[in-house]
Amino acid sequence: MVAYCYQVGEGNIDHNYWIAPELQNENLLDFARPAYFATTETPASDMCAGTAASLAINYLNFKDTEPEYAAESLQKAIALYDFAVKTHTETEGLKVTSLGYDGGFYTSSYDYDELAWAAVWLYECTGEWDYIDDIIHVDETITGDMGAHPYTGYLKRIISDTGNCWQNIWVHCWDTVWGGVFAKLAPITNISRDWYIFRWNLEYWSGMNEQDAAAAPAKAEQNNVTMAASVPAVTSHKNFGLDDQIWNTKITAEEIADLPTEDGAFLAKTPAGFSMLNEYGSARYDAAAQLCACVYAKETGDNTFVDWAEGQMEYIMGKNPMNRPYIVGYSPTAASHPHHRAAHGSKTLNMDDPQTQTHVLWGALVGGPDASDWHRDITKDYIYNEVAVDYNAAFVGACAGLYNFCGTEDMKPQENFPPSEASMKGDIVEYKLKASIGQEDNMATQVLVEIDNSSFLPPHYLKETKVRYYFSIAELLKNGQTLDDLTVRVDYDAMKSNTNGEHEVTYEVVQYNDKGDCYLEMTWTGYEFYGTMQFQFALMAQVQNEEYTFIWDPTNDYSRSGLSTCDELGVTLAEALTEYDLITMYVDGEHVWGKAPADAQEDETLYGDVDCNGAVEIADVVLLSRYVAQDKDAKAVTAQGLLNADCVKDGNVDMEDITAIARYLAHLIEASQLGKAS
C-alpha cells in the first residue's frame, strides 16, 4: 500500500455552506474540496486502522454470498492494518504523533483503540492469534513493582502493567472504541480482565446505588417513562478479584454470574432515568451502550442488561417527559428539525429558512435530551439535534439486538415505507414563475419576469431555461405595420448583473400566425443557477399611424390579460410580482410552468431524443448509430425521432448528429446548442 485517501472536503468550509450538498459548487460560494491521503510522509494511523476494521467486518458480512468481493475487502483490511502499524509513531509518554488530519472536527485522541479494534476483527477473519497478541501482549521478561509486568500491546495506553486494570467510564463511540474491543475480546480470550472491563462498563451505565434505585419506580410514574427505563439493572458491581490476578486467569459466563458484588460508581441519570454520559448527542452514546448490552447477552446468555436497554430505547422512542421520539419521522411528535443541510434544504444559507424542513430524514437519531430530560427541536442546535453516521450505527445495532431478545411475532416491517414525497406534499412544483407590469401607455408595456428554480428531487442547477411571453400585434398589422416595427428594450438582466456581463439573457420575437399572435422567447443559458432570477423588459411600438398617434394596445395580449400595473396596485414593480400562469416556462426543453394559448403550437422537437422517451441519454446515441449504420435489427426510429435527431440542423441524420449528442452528454456543449446549424 502506498496511500489511502481518508478524507475529502474541509470541515469548516463545508459546514459554512448551509445548502443542499448537490448544489455545492463555485457558482454560489468559493470553496475547496481537498483530498487528504495517508502516506508514510503524512500518516493517518487512526484512519487506516479504523477503515481496516470496517473492511474486515465487510469480509465477514459477504464471504458466503459474494466471496470475491469479500476476499478483496479482507486483502485491503490487512494492507491498511499493516500500514497503520508501520506508520504509527508515539512519544515516550504514549502521545501519538501519526494521527490523520481532521480540521478540528471529531478529533481523535489516539490510535491504540482503533488498532486494537482492527486487530480483533482481523482475528475473527483469519484466526491468527498474532492479532490478539498485538492487543494484549505482556513483556514477562520485565518485572516491576509487586511483580507486575508491563503491557506492550495496545492495552498499554489504558493499563500500564499487570498490577493494574481499567474501568471504562465512556462507551464505544466516534473517538474511543475500547467498548467494542472488549466486547469482542472477552469471548475470545475468556480472561477475567477482559470480561471485567466489558461488564463493569455495562454496570456503570445501567446501575444505580440502592437509595436511588428505591426511588426509581415513583420517578418513572412521575416522568411518563416505563419502569424499565427508570429502574436500574444492577445496584452493585461484580468483584472479579485483584487486579494483579485477573490479567491471566480464565473465567466462564457461568462463573461470572456467581461472583460476589461490591459497591462502585454509576453513570448519572436524568430525572426520568435516562443514562446521561454527555449532553452533546446523549442519545447516540446511550444507544451504543444498549448495543453493548445486547452483545453481552448474546455472548453470555445473561440478560441482566437487556431490560434496561429496552427501557432506554423506549425512552428514545417517545416514552419520556417530552413525549418526543428522538427518531425523525417516527411519529407526529418526533423531532423534526435535524441539523442536516440536505434535509433542511435552505436556499439562502440560513439555518432558520425554511422553518419547515424540505425533506424528512427518515429514521435519523437526533442528539437527544439534556440532563433535565429537556430537548430543543430546531435545526441550528447541533447539541440537541445533530445527526451523523455514528449516531445511527449504534442505534440500528441496538434495535437489531432488542428485536432479537424482545421482539414479538406481530412486529413486522411497515409496508410502503417511507411514503413518497408526492403522497406527503401533494402536487410537487419545483419551478415557478412570477410576473408584474410596470409602466404602460400607448407606446409600450414594461414587464418584470422572475423565474424560480426550487428543485429538490434532487436539487439541481438549471442549465437552460426558456420563458415565453405571449402578445398580439394585431393593431400594428391593421395599421399596415409588421413585427419589424416592434422593439424589445432590456431594462434589467439579473444574470448579466450577477456575472459581470459574462452571461446574458438572449431573446427572439416569433409571430406564429397571420392574426398577429406572437411570443417573446427569453433564454437563460450558459450560467447555472438555483433560486430566483429576474429579467425586466419592455415591448415598444414606437411607429405612429397616419394621425401621428401611437397605437400600442396591450389589452389584446394573452400574457398581459390577468395582471394589473404596479401603479394600479399602489406598489413597486418588485412588490407587484405574483405567480402567474399565462406565461410559459421550459426547463431543458420540458414544459414546466404556465398555459400557452390554444393556437400556439408547442415545439415537440427535443433535439437528441432519438427514441422519443422525453430524455437525451446514451441510448439515443446507440439507437442513432445503429440507424446510421443501417442496422436492420435496430429499433425503428419514428418520424419525430428523426426530427429530434437532426441536431446540427442540416436536414440530414448522420455522424455529425451522433457527435453532437455525444458532446452534449459529455457536458462539452449545452442543450441549447443541439438543433442549431453548425
42 Cβ contact partners less than 8 Å away, ≥ 6 residues apart = 36, 101
User: Is 572 part of any domain?
Assistant: yes
Residues 435, 564, single domain; the answer is yes
Per-residue burial over 109-126, b = 16 or more CB atoms within 10 Å of its CB, e = otherwise: ebbbbbbbbbbbbbbebe
Residues 551, 627, single domain; the answer is no
User: Is 114 part of any domain?
Assistant: yes
**Which of these three, 129, 157, 185, is where a domain ends?**
157
Reported as a single tens digit per residue, the pLDDT across 36-54 is 999 999 999 999 999 999 9
**Which of these three, 142, 157, 172, is where a domain ends?**
157
pLDDT at 549 over 80: no
Q: Where does the pLDDT of residue 601 fall: very low under 50, low under 70, confident under 90, or very high at 90 and above? A: low
- The CATH number for 579's domain is 2.60.40.710
Residues 545, 640, single domain; the answer is no
Q: Where does the pLDDT of residue 544 fall: very low under 50, low under 70, confident under 90, or very high at 90 and above? A: low
**Which of these three, 138, 157, 176, is where a domain ends?**
157
* Averaged confidence pLDDT in the chain: 93
Q: Where does the pLDDT of residue 470 fall: very low under 50, low under 70, confident under 90, or very high at 90 and above? A: very high
The DSSP bridge pattern shows strands 517-529 and 531-541 to be unpaired
Which amino acid, residue 471?
A: F
For 151-165, 370-384, 618-632, which range has the lowest pLDDT when averaged over its residues?
618-632
Residues 641, 579, single domain; the answer is no
Contact present, 506 and 525 (Cβ < 8 Å)? yes
Residues 490, 625, single domain; the answer is no
Count: domains in the chain: 3
User: Is 60 part of any domain?
Assistant: yes
Percent residues over pLDDT 70 in the chain: 97
Q: Where does the pLDDT of residue 636 fall: very low under 50, low under 70, confident under 90, or very high at 90 and above? A: confident
Q: What pLDDT, on the 0 to 100 scale, is given for residue 110?
A: 98
**Burial (CB count within 10 angstroms: exposed 0-12, middle 13-18, buried 19+), residue 551:** middle
In the chain the first and final C-alpha atoms are separated, in Å, by: 50
Contacts of range 155-160, beta carbons closer than 8 Å, 24 or more positions apart: 155/112, 155/116, 156/94, 156/112, 157/94, 157/110, 157/112, 157/113, 158/112
Q: Where does the pLDDT of residue 600 fall: very low under 50, low under 70, confident under 90, or very high at 90 and above? A: confident
Residues 491, 634, single domain; the answer is no
Reported as a single tens digit per residue, the pLDDT across 410-453 is 999 989 899 888 788 877 889 999 999 999 998 899 999 999 99
Domain containing 639: what range? 618-673
Task: List 445's β-bridge partners, or say none.
Answer: 440, 539
Reported as a single tens digit per residue, the pLDDT across 158-217 is 999 999 999 999 999 999 999 999 999 999 999 999 999 999 999 999 999 999 899 888
Reported as a single tens digit per residue, the pLDDT across 270-322 is 999 999 999 999 999 999 999 999 999 999 999 999 999 999 999 999 999 99
Q: What is the value of pTM for the model shown?
A: 0.82
pLDDT at 221 over 80: no
Residue 134 three-state SS: helix
DSSP string covering 202-246: HHHHH---HHHHHHHHHHHHHTT--HHHHS-S-SSEE----HHHH
Residue 28 three-state SS: coil
User: Is 135 part of any domain?
Assistant: yes
Q: What pLDDT, on the 0 to 100 scale, is given for residue 80?
A: 99
Residues 92, 126, single domain; the answer is yes
Closest CA to 169 of 289, 310, 303: 289
For residue 489, give the C-alpha cell: 428594450
Residues 558, 638, single domain; the answer is no
Residues 636, 555, single domain; the answer is no
- The CATH number for 628's domain is 1.10.1330
Q: What pLDDT, on the 0 to 100 scale, is given for residue 448?
A: 98
Task: Determine the Cα–Cα distance for residues 390 and 280; give it in Å rounded to an integer.
Answer: 13
Between vectors from CA 219 to CA 216 and to CA 225, what angle results, nearest 5°? 100
User: Is 95 part of any domain?
Assistant: yes
Residues 569, 442, single domain; the answer is yes
For 56-60, 251-255, 477-481, which range has the lowest pLDDT when averaged over its residues?
477-481
pLDDT at 151 over 80: yes
Task: Determine the Cα–Cα distance for residues 615 and 73; give it in Å rounded to an integer.
Answer: 38
User: Is 214 part of any domain?
Assistant: no
Task: List 467's β-bridge partners, or say none.
Answer: 522, 585
Q: Where does the pLDDT of residue 546 fall: very low under 50, low under 70, confident under 90, or very high at 90 and above? A: low
Residues 527, 630, single domain; the answer is no
Residues 559, 627, single domain; the answer is no
Task: List 470's β-bridge partners, or say none.
Answer: 519
Distance of CA 140 to the CA centre of its chain: 50
User: Is 86 part of any domain?
Assistant: yes
User: Is 678 part of any domain?
Assistant: no
Q: Where does the pLDDT of residue 333 fall: very low under 50, low under 70, confident under 90, or very high at 90 and above? A: very high
Reading phi first (left if > 0) and then psi (alpha if -120 to 50, else beta), residue 89 is in beta
